[in-house]
């Protein structure tokens, strides 16, 4: 592995680079990870946790917000027709607070509309089991004090509101939800968040969240295999 996502550097406030996907294997199931910088943070830990159990594939891009995912799904899933699980983690960029308005980049209504379109398109493009990960906890005080932001750019009240809507839509599509928000609250967000910005994951947080994502993926791989 050439890159370790959560090494602290002078650019620690920036999203981490994506880990290189493992080579394809004729015997191991393929899992696709889609999502923003939080996905990029925990990806290497997922690869490590699932080594010998699944092949992990993911875009090198930061997938950003729901509109960006919708526009790029065909490209990112090209060649992944045999993937058994697709884990989607998107929301933080939709909730980003615009400087001029102080409101989220995407309204709750647009977020819902985009999620519905994403889920419908995933159903068209793949036979994989889709898992939707709820958006992670943020620390508003750390954001305001950070050199990178210097203001609150994501609010937990928005995270909870958008997560509730995402859960509702996922359940309507019969898509299992990975409650990373609830898991983070249970474990303790202070152990997981990067102190320098209050949004991204610390080195310890990368491993904690990556292992949890891997656990949920394995459960769904087992369920998918048992229903064949």
Q: In this predicted structure, what is the pLDDT of residue 119?
A: 98
Task: Please give the domain boundaries of the chain with CATH numbers for all domains.
Answer: 30-222 (3.40.50.1110)
**pLDDT number for residue 126:** 95
Q: Strand pairing partners for 31?
A: 56, 85
**CB atoms closer than 10 angstroms to residue 107:** 11
For CA atoms 97, 102, 103, 105, give the dihedral sign.
negative
* Distance from C-alpha of 24 to C-alpha of 29, rounded to nearest angstrom: 9
Task: Find the farthest-apart pair of alpha carbons in the chain and give their distance in angstroms, rounded.
Answer: 52
- Residue 23 is classified by DSSP as P
pLDDT tens-digit map of 166-224: 999 999 999 999 999 999 999 999 999 999 999 999 999 999 999 999 999 999 997 65
Regions in the chain scoring below 50 on pLDDT: 1-21, 228
pTM of the model: 0.88
- 78/94 Cα distance (integer angstroms): 25
Q: Which two tokens stand for residue 104?
A: 């989220």
* DSSP helix/strand/coil, 30: strand
């Amino acid at each position: 592995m050439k890159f370790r996502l959560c090494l602290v550097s002078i650019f620690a406030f920036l999203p981490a680079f994506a880990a290189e996907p493992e080579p394809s294997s004729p015997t191991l199931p393929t899992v696709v990870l889609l999502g923003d910088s939080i996905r990029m943070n925990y990806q290497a830990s997922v690869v490590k946790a699932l080594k010998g159990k699944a092949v992990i594939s993911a875009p090198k891009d930061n997938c950003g917000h729901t509109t960006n995912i919708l526009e790029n799904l065909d490209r990112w899933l090209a060649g992944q027709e045999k993937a058994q699980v697709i884990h989607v983690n998107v929301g933080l960029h939709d909730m980003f607070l615009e400087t001029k308005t102080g409101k989220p980049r995407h309204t709750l209504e647009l977020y819902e509309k985009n999620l519905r379109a994403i889920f419908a398109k995933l159903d068209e493009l793949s036979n994989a089991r889709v898992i939707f990960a709820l958006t992670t906890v943020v620390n508003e005080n750390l954001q305001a004090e950070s050199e990178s932001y210097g203001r609150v750019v994501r609010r937990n009240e928005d995270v909870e509101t958008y997560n509730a809507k995402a859960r509702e839509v996922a359940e309507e599509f019969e898509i299992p939800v990975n409650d990373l928000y609830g898991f983070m609250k249970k474990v303790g967000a202070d152990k997981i968040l990067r102190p320098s910005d209050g949004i991204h994951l610390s080195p310890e947080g990368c491993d904690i969240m990556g292992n949890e994502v891997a656990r949920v993926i394995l459960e769904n791989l087992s369920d998918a295999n048992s229903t064949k």
